[in-house]
Structure 1
Amino acid sequence: MRWEEQLSRAGWRITMPRRVVMRVLERAARPLSPQEIHARGRRLHRSLGLVSVYRALMVLERAGLVRRVHREDRCDGYVLASPGHHHLLVCRRCGRAVEFPGAEDLSGLIAQVERRTGFRVEDHLLQLVGLCGPCRDL
């Protein structure tokens, strides 16, 4: 299913800022900050505002189309999200982010955490940081 269909089915409109943000992220080789998305997006549509980029990212994240990546510089980046539940591997050197599937793999750990803490886990985010193959070989 195309992202436009997915967004429409979720009840959201297809707007110019959302189109531009998706187009920028489709071309990105690494997670981009909202400011980087804005700068690249302005090359595609001169009137794109930074506030519009933030709003578009919020909607696209809620719709499951983009995923937030926590970067070491403490500025969140964004990448396109694959359908289903995935986690991220992020290269510390080049910043490349790669998704890998797995909600069921954590069920035992989540159950253990719930027993020990009394929390009821409703969602989780797993991001592993290291060096990708090309960066390891440098």
Structure 2
Amino acid sequence: MAEGARGDLRQRTERYLEALARKGCRRTGPRRLIIETLLESQGEHLSAREIMERVQSKDPSVGFATVYRTLMVLSQVGLVHAVDRGEGFSRFHLAEGGTHLYVLCSRCGRIQHLDDQEAKVEALRDWAGKVGYRLMPQTIQILGICPQCGDDPPPEGIDHRYVSCCGRRRRRCTP
């Protein structure tokens, strides 16, 4: 990594650690490494295990429980978004702004980030404001079928009635 990029990584990591401190959370070495790992993997949606493997390449003493707890803390304070692709575990990425929109293929799990997100989020803010609500930072997952999957039949054993919610409760659509 070039010196300029390394300095930028340090600055961005520091901004996330400062935001964490403002929320009343401690600044620890493992948290720094986890944030750096997420910054280095921008554009990827990593599982806790993948994050742990990358963090352990820098510091083998950081365990899975530490990584998982840190991701939960970062998620609860709005610095990380969790993505549920129906794999039985979440994938994570840093929250670079408030609300994050993407389309998820319900067949293969491919994620497509939406263009012009700010305009779409502004439209959502306006809509929510008309009924008296204020939007909170969140991930909005829209289910669809990607062009690569097209009209292929769904894989065996997948319940496509499942609606993935990024909250604490999971809901099922009625058949």
Contact preservation (8 Å) 2:86, 2:109: no
Q: What do the CA deviations read for 1:2-61 (whole angstroms, capped 9, x no partner)?
A: 111111111111112211111111122421111111111100111010000011001111
Q: How does 1:5-84 map to 2 (within 5 A)?
A: 5-28=18-41, 29-84=43-98
Structure 1 gap ranges (5+): 112-121
Larger gyration radius, structure 1 or structure 2: 2
Q: Highest relative contact order (Cα 8 Å, sep 6+), 1 or 2?
A: 1
How far residue 72 of structure 1 moved from its aligned partner, in angstroms, is: 3.2
Structure 2 gap ranges (5+): 1-11, 150-175
Normalising by structure 2, we get a TM-score of 0.58
Q: 1:38 to 1:10 in 2, by over 3 A?
A: same
Residue identity opposite 1:24 in structure 2: T
Which residue of the partner structure matches residue 125 of structure 2?
Answer: 104
Contact preservation (8 Å) 2:46, 2:92: yes
- Pick the structure with more helix per residue: 1
Normalising by structure 1, we get a TM-score of 0.71
Contact preservation (8 Å) 1:67, 1:79: yes
Q: Secondary structure at the match of 2:44?
A: coil
RMSD over equivalenced CA pairs, Å: 3.2
